[in-house]
A and B are shown apart, each in its own frame.
Chain A
């Protein structure tokens, strides 16, 4: 087969539908990565326009531009859009587009999940923007502190838009994080062991794991606050046993890791681009990976440094002050590793390099002011002033926007296959750089003079007029610079000027293909022996196009790829992807219906939407079933691999494991909230305790013990070729018993609207019932599959996945029942 013929055949298999219809049914990471990035940049522009409005408002004293009601919406939306709708999705888009190409695979682990995540993001983000256009956008500041955001002090629908919209968007973050984690661990080219992974993949992996453990506390906080607003469950009301500090803990448990979730991918871009710009290799690969791991963990030990002024005793603050200084060590290590890389090589002043220099200059200042505010007494003065606003912009703009611009200019030829023709980029960079520093240096200064953040006006006597005007002028220079970058990129896209393949002479795999990238990425998959495959074999792209790698022969209309062993990169299984479908967009629309019903308080459509999601999810997995035992597939280079449906740990198992990791963090945060309210909140003990019941507890515990054991038995029977059906039914019954016990807890929880104790028990019981329902659906699904002959001793992957969910449900169910019943049973 000739290279061109192979290209045509593969394209026919992998391409999305023609025209704009293809957007709605595509599941290909090429399309979805670009759609993510495009949407994120739309939101970046919206957030930027909001920033300009803020600076217009503050340019003069006693500004009459907008009243506080509108201004509060503007700054709240600026922060919210930039954090949730621009920064995180930009990382997701970049990772979705690049990872399969860098890792030498053909797509991500779960293509339909990518699409589902994208549509949740697009719909949820649009909800917020629509709210803003109607003038009912959230207005409580981007960290939404109750009781200001509770129903009493913010009765409008504004806050609900934030809580529900952002939770909707977070689904996409969690989906992308699961996707990225499994893809980096399993979907790599044969031979690519962990130490041969491109550095960006390490950063993406660590970031994804951080999203899985960082976002659930925020989702929990949003759920609790929305429950309080909608149904009066008083989680954050001090007089009813709640505590507004619980929100601050949950929010910053998410909020500080978030900063590093934003920074680490950008650091990944720098670690990828900088060595190429310096014609050398990255200094200290192992050190940088270790530093990123350290950073990931340390960043979870900083959350209280946003709460230094809440009256926590000094020793409590000292722990977090210490952790906040320590986190600067691995950050510093990366900075110096990059400088060492520059010393090692010969830096060349291409446009990406310019933005990297902008990063160095800006981020180092941001890091140093960050260390300053980590010092408790300094923070007591600087907290909630414009100094903090300036600091966080140095960190986020320096640590994210400059590196992303560097990345855009670096990968633009990959996206378009063209080379830059106009040279607006340098001028644009100069304007962005100057504008940014004028804006935010001035803001540091005015903050030290005492200007609080989030004020909408100030008096001439304050003496801040000139500085604010300077800052506003700077922000408009910055805006012009960003507009020029936009024009530059558009000109690049629309002026056809064919570039050569791998224009930067980069060593990484994403350049080993024609550009713009074909839908199938690699015509055949490479075998990796080094970290810089393209330097080792400069003609790799041609050889892969000729089909000399793995899976070089298109067959059966299959979208095929390989999975490898995590550590060694040895080929492990053969995967056939699902093809184009509208299922993801339909499912996210139904998910949107669920959120919209909550938002508009149309509660009768909520169960309808939930049933819809369950129905679609059932179809989603049902389509993956095989009616016959798949054979070992020859994959090239003389190896044959088993199908993913016939292994113990299939991609679905890995995806479930990481989704449950996020879920477990959510549950842990919920238990933390329970303990926190019990011990710290004023207004305890509650007026009435839950009456324990040995019958309910016993039923639930027995159910929780029986279910996983019975399913384990089903797996053994199935492996030996027996009939697993009866054991699956017993496991189902166990789960139902557990669900009933949790339901009884919900039913009998003491008046949930009277005290946070009853409210928390209600939520705990609800968590148990929800998971029992999910596990029962999965058990039912498995039973149906067995009945239809979709399982066999060989086709066993579904069993392990269901066991994972049932075990998780049982464990959390045990925790819930014991937490509710035990305190009353112990004399």
Chain B
């Protein structure tokens, strides 16, 4: 996308630059309209944008959560300025500021909020999804290897916004089982 954008930008700048070369003024607009307005102005952007749109929608469609057998369910509730996570596989567990997930399994995170709007964002794992009062939004993500990932809240929420961050820890199979039984600190 960046390369394509740079290419288009370069093209436009070259066209602007070439307008300054010495030449005769052109009389009659007919041919100019066909070239500049219909060619460059209509057909060219329509083709590029159409292709880009289809590409984006395909990716988006693939990223959407679908019902599956092995999806781990967790809940993320935001409040100023802390995230609380609960786990449907272990109803008694609640963690604050740290979300534990299994690696290699799809996880559905039900995101909601206790006060104002926040946004759940772990850049390395998925895009943003907002936590909106009265609504629950579901984000599908999957960590392909165990590890720790930084997350932040990405919707302005007042004075404590700067430091409003959390961590996501993806565990391997054994550690995940231990976590669910409350044996992991």
Q: Are these two chains actual partners, yes or no?
A: yes
Is A15 close to B, CB under 8 A? no
Residues from chain B with a CB closer than 8 A to the CB of A326 are 49
Q: Do the beta carbons of A364 and B9 come within 8 Å of each other?
A: yes
- Interface 1/0 per residue, A280-293 and B, CB below 8 Å: 10011001000100
A344/B26 in contact, CB under 8 A: yes
Q: Is the CB of B115 within 8 A of A147?
A: yes
With a cutoff of 8 Å between Cβ atoms, the chain A residues found around residue B1 in the complex are 372, 375, 378
Given A153-B115, A342-B16, check contact A321 B156 (CB 8 Å).
no
Min C-beta distance of A32 to chain B, whole Å: 37
Residue of A nearest to B33 (CB): A284
The answer to whether A371 touches B155 (Cβ under 8 A) is no
**Which B residue sits closest to A682, measured CB to CB?**
B134
- Whether the pair A454, B161 counts as a contact (CB closer than 8 A) is yes
In contact, A384 and B119 (Cβ under 8 angstroms): yes
Q: Does A361 contact B (CB under 8 A)?
A: yes
B142 → A minimal CB distance (Å): 15
Nearest chain A CB to B17's CB is how many angstroms away?
9
Q: Which of A327-335, A519-527, A664-672, A806-814 contacts B (4 or more CB under 8 A)?
A: A327-335
Q: For residue B128, which residue of chain A has the nearest CB?
A: A309
Q: Tell me if A26 counts as interface (CB < 8 A to partner B).
A: no
Interface mask (A365-385 → B, CB under 8 Å = 1, otherwise 0)? 100110110111111110111
Inter-chain contacts of B12 with A (CB < 8 A): 335, 339, 360, 364
Q: How far is the CB of A443 from chain B (nearest CB, A)?
A: 16
B166 to chain A, nearest CB (A): 14
Near B by CB (< 8 A), chain A positions 329-367 give 329, 332-337, 339-340, 342-347, 357, 360-361, 364-365
Q: Is the CB of A377 within 8 A of B127?
A: yes
- In the complex formed, the residue of A with least CB distance to B1 is A372
A176 vs B179: C-alpha distance when bound (angstroms): 64
| Chain A 541-574: CB-based contact to B (< 8 A → 1; otherwise 0) | 0000000000000000000000000000000000
Let me know if A145 is at the binding interface, CB within 8 A: yes
User: B117 near A337 (CB under 8 angstroms)?
Assistant: no
The reply on A693 being an interface residue by CB < 8 A is: no
Q: A238-B134, A325-B52 are in contact. Are A339 and B9 (CB under 8 A)?
A: no
* Interface 1/0 per residue, A234-251 and B, CB below 8 Å: 000111000111000000
Q: Which of A284, A287, A328, A344 contacts B25 (CB 8 A)?
A: A344
Query: Which residue of A is nearest B59, CB measured?
Result: A377
Cβ < 8 Å to A, chain B residues 22-62: 23, 25-26, 29, 32-33, 35-37, 40-42, 44-46, 49-50, 52-53, 55-57, 59-61
A638 CB within 8 Å of chain B: no
B156 A148 Cβ-Cβ under 8 A = yes
B98 at the interface (CB under 8 A from A): no
Expressed in whole angstroms, the minimum distance between the Cβ of B42 and any Cβ of chain A is: 6
Given A333-B42, A360-B13, A682-B135 contact (CB < 8 Å):
yes
The complex places the Cα of A140 from the Cα of B117 at a distance, in Å, of 12
Q: Are A340 and B36 in contact (CB under 8 A)?
A: yes
Determine whether the beta carbon of B117 is less than 8 Å from that of A244: yes
Given contacts A148-B116, A333-B42, is CB(A375)–CB(B56) below 8 Å? yes
Contact of A318 with B by CB under 8 A: yes
Evaluate whether A337 and B36 lie within 8 angstroms (CB atoms) in the complex, with A244-B132, A309-B119 already known: yes
Least CB distance, B141 to chain A, in whole angstroms: 11
B129 touches A683 (CB 8 A): no
Q: In the complex the two chains form, is B135's CB within 8 Å of A380's CB?
A: no
Contact status B135-A455, CB under 8 Å: no
B154 CB within 8 Å of chain A = yes
| Contact B154–A368 (Cβ < 8 Å) | no
Using A147-B133, A372-B1 as known contacts, say yes or no to A339 and B16 having CB atoms under 8 A apart: yes
Chain A residues closer than 8 Å to B130, beta-carbon distance? 309-311
Chain B residues closer than 8 Å to A238, beta-carbon distance: 132-135
Q: Check B73 for interface membership: any CB of A closer than 8 A.
A: no
- Interface flag for B69 (CB, 8 Å): no
Q: Contacts of A681 on B, CB cut-off 8 Å? A: 134
- Highest count of chain B CB atoms <10 Å: which of A287, A321, A384: A384
> In this assembly, does A457 line the interface, its C-beta being within 8 Å of a C-beta of chain B?
yes
A582 CB-CB contact with B under 8 Å: no
Residues of A within 8 A of B111 (CB): 311
A383 partner residues in chain B, CB cutoff 8 A? 119, 127-128, 154
Q: Are B60 and A287 in contact (CB under 8 A)?
A: no
What are the residues of chain A within 8 A of B33 when measuring CB–CB? 283-284, 287, 340
Which positions 638-689 of chain A face chain B at CB distance < 8 Å? Answer: 681-683
**Complex interface: chain A residues within 8 A of B52 (CB):** 325, 371, 375
* Known A332-B45, A339-B40, A360-B16; contact A318-B57, beta-carbon cutoff 8 A: yes
Q: Which residue of A lies closest to B157 (CB)?
A: A148
Question: Which of A153, A239, A243, A340 has its CB near the most chain B CB atoms (within 10 A)?
Answer: A340
Interface membership of B174, Cβ < 8 A: no
Contact B115 A377 (CB under 8 A): no
Is the CB of A439 closer than 8 A to any CB of chain B? no
- Check if B26 sits within 8 Å of A384, measured CB to CB: no
Q: A residues within 8 A CB of B67?
A: none
Contact partners of A472 in chain B: CB under 8 A: none
Cβ–Cβ < 8 Å partners of B9 in chain A: 364-365, 368
Task: Determine whether the beta carbon of B56 is less than 8 Å from that of A376.
Answer: yes
Residue of A whose beta carbon sits closest to that of B50: A325
In chain B, what residue has the closest Cβ to A363?
B12
A141 within 8 A of partner (CB): yes
B148 contacts chain A at the CB level, 8 A cutoff? no
**Is the beta-carbon distance between B134 and A339 smaller than 8 angstroms?**
no
User: Whose C-beta in chain B lies nearest to the C-beta of A379?
Assistant: B127
User: Residue on A with the closest CB to B116?
Assistant: A148
B14 to chain A, nearest CB (A): 10
- CB contact under 8 A between A310 and B132, given known A318-B60, A321-B57, A372-B5: yes
* Nearest opposing residue in chain A for B53, CB measure: A325
The answer to whether B32 and A340 touch across the interface, beta carbons within 8 angstroms, is: yes
CA distance A72 to B158 in the complex (A): 8
Which B residues touch A361, using CB under 8 A? 13
Contact B16 A287 (CB under 8 A): no
Determine if A172 is an interface residue (Cβ-Cβ < 8 Å): no
Q: Is A69 an interface residue (CB 8 A)?
A: yes
When C-beta atoms are compared, the residue in chain B nearest to A314 turns out to be B64
User: In the complex, what residue of chain B is closest to A288 when comparing beta carbons?
Assistant: B37
Closest residue of B by beta carbon distance from A329 = B45
With A317-B60, A340-B32 given, is the CB distance from A384 to B127 under 8 Å?
no
B184 within 8 A of A: no
Shortest beta-carbon distance from B18 to chain A in Å = 7
A379-400 residues at the B interface, CB under 8 angstroms: 379-381, 383-385
Are B127's CB and A380's CB within 8 A?
yes
The residue of chain A having its C-beta at the shortest distance from the C-beta of B26 within the complex is: A344
B134: contacting residue among A239, A287, A371, A374, CB under 8 A: A239
Whether the pair A147, B117 counts as a contact (CB closer than 8 A) is yes
| B49-89, CB < 8 A from A | 49-50, 52-53, 55-57, 59-61, 63-64, 80
**B154–A452 touching, CB < 8 Å:** yes
Determine the residue in chain B with the shortest Cβ distance to A453.
Answer: B156
Residues of B near A239 (CB, < 8 A) are 133-134
Residue B8 is within 8 A (CB to CB) of chain A in the complex = yes
Set A309, A345, A381: member contacting B123, Cβ < 8 A? A381
Can you list 26 residue pairs at the A/B interface with Cβ under 8 Å?
Answer: A148-B157, A153-B115, A309-B127, A311-B129, A311-B130, A311-B137, A314-B60, A318-B57, A322-B53, A333-B42, A336-B36, A336-B41, A343-B18, A343-B19, A344-B25, A364-B9, A371-B49, A372-B1, A374-B56, A375-B1, A375-B52, A377-B127, A378-B1, A380-B127, A381-B123, A453-B156
CB-based closest 4 A-B pairs: A380-B127, A238-B134, A340-B36, A311-B137
Task: Beyond A336-B36, A458-B162, list 7 extra A-B contacts (CB 8 Å).
Answer: A68-B160, A147-B117, A287-B33, A329-B49, A346-B25, A374-B56, A457-B162
